Structure 1
């Protein structure tokens, strides 16, 4: 059993300001005994395409990633950065989750697969993530001391095929860093997270943005940890803050033994690339 921590933030376009806020929250979670901490999508840069281009770094290089590695090492935690802009070798950008171990080593990364290109009935109205980022191609399940962690980001949660693939590749915990809009979050966030937990029989750890941001964006918050039976065991509804829960993989084993969904499935999930 491991204590998992979640950070809920109200990030803006300036990574220095975001990092100062994040470090305080991470220190608090470390004092509470958290061994694995998940942060929201866009936790370091949440702005316009110009902001992402200004602060994008090459994978494994740059001052932001160096500071994150140092924080993880100093606090002795596994740190999942929900996403930050990463500059690819072809010049395109991806919105990428980064997983640092407790020694500050970058153990894995995941490029968001599904781009949020939708119309929403809010002040921002039109969202075109593909205008800024290029989607990834790979499914990632990472072996850690706290279980096999499947990686996803925000809009990915609407695509159960991805979560079936993560489960098929051995995921015990699936992380969902997000910046769900207030409109879509109010309608679907809780339902989607609980559904993904129930159908995969995995723990779901969802770290969210909350509040008003630049460009008229407003995010829903409601960061939560959901057990493999679909029960919400911890939730930060509004405001910035942190939450923790003890993640018991024994509960997953019990549920999967009593209701062996993977063995009963009549449809096979296509295997994708896995990083360990």
Structure 2
């Protein structure tokens, strides 16, 4: 099955994002893709909280979500809208959506693990200052098979992916806006590890380049097969990439190395002083 990945340099204006996403959706469908994957924060990427506040609204009010649903229906293609910043009461959520080929939202997922770190280059991020984390794992049935949903920093927490693959996910979607330092150090390694652990496909659509708010993101949108082989690496250029998934590859790899069948529940360890 053919899928497409959008690699974008999302800015601070949601109107520009609407136009770009509608164009990418049409191009993905014209290229034969049955499903398009977009990055984390596909609507607005702005670390200036006061400026961003005017463009972050509730799910019902979000123009990017409405436009993507309309464009998906018009093109007849499924879309995993990697995530949008949305308002819920006094707090924000980082929420991804699975949208079907009729433009209906089939599933949504709120990012569980929030990015609160101090990087070696002096950059400091405190996602929890504005955002509330989700509290549930989500998998959705799609034309590509059962899809496990996650977002960016979730990548570092394998227990989430164990829950998703235990629930039957054959593809893990990990949309992201990875920083350059962490991307260069860990992006490829962790993506391949998540694929290898359970013998699944990993699809990771990413932000790239220098953004209007001054941040820099790593790019390298990836598709990794169940053996850990990189099928697509989009480098650092914004654009659209295509990849053909042989979905039977999951059972083939698991038949050779059935690690997922050997999982066992692990109790808290006994600590011997």
TM-score category by the smaller chain? over 0.9
Partner of residue 226, structure 1? 224
SS at match of 2:255: helix
Partner of residue 58, structure 1? 58
Partner of residue 18, structure 2? 19
Partner of residue 75, structure 2? 75
Larger CA deviation: 238-247 vs 62-71: 62-71
Structure 1 unpaired stretches of 5+: 270-276
TM-score, scaled to structure 2: 0.93
Q: C-alpha separation between the residues in 2 aligned to 1:139 and 1:61?
A: 25
Larger CA deviation: 113-122 vs 69-78: 113-122
Q: Evaluate the alpha carbon distance shift between residue 240 and residue 194 of structure 1 in structure 2; reply closer, same or farther with a 3 A threshold.
A: same
Partner of residue 165, structure 1? 163
Note the alpha carbon deviations across 1:198-253, whole angstroms, 9 max, x for none.
00211000001111124431110000100010000011001101111111221101
Q: Is the 8 A contact 2:86 2:95 kept in 1?
A: yes
SS at match of 2:45: coil
Partner of residue 85, structure 2? 85
Q: C-alpha separation between the residues in 1 aligned to 2:18 and 2:155?
A: 26
Q: What value does the CA root-mean-square deviation take over the aligned residues?
A: 1.6
- Within the candidate set 123, 135, 138, 1:137 is matched to 135
Partner of residue 273, structure 1? none
Larger CA deviation: 17-26 vs 140-149: 17-26
Post-superposition offset of 1:261 = 1.3
Q: C-alpha separation between the residues in 1 aligned to 2:199 and 2:52?
A: 35
Counterpart check, 1:244 vs 2:242 = yes
Post-superposition offset of 1:148 = 0.2
Q: C-alpha separation between the residues in 2 aligned to 1:36 and 1:55?
A: 27
Q: Is the 8 A contact 1:45 1:51 kept in 2?
A: no
Q: C-alpha separation between the residues in 2 aligned to 1:137 and 1:154?
A: 16
Q: C-alpha separation between the residues in 2 aligned to 1:173 and 1:51?
A: 36
Partner of residue 257, structure 2? 259
Pairs aligned (count): 266
Q: Evaluate the alpha carbon distance shift between residue 61 and residue 101 of structure 1 in structure 2; reply closer, same or farther with a 3 A threshold.
A: farther
Post-superposition offset of 1:80 = 1.0
SS at match of 1:118: strand
Note the alpha carbon deviations across 1:102-158, whole angstroms, 9 max, x for none.
0000111100001011012347x1111111210000000111232000000000001
Written as runs of structure 1 = structure 2, the 5 A alignment for 1:54-203 is 54-88=54-88, 90-122=89-121, 125-203=123-201
Q: C-alpha separation between the residues in 2 aligned to 1:26 and 1:72?
A: 7
Runs of 4+ in 1 over 4 A off after TM superposition: none
Post-superposition offset of 1:72 = 0.6
Post-superposition offset of 1:65 = 2.0
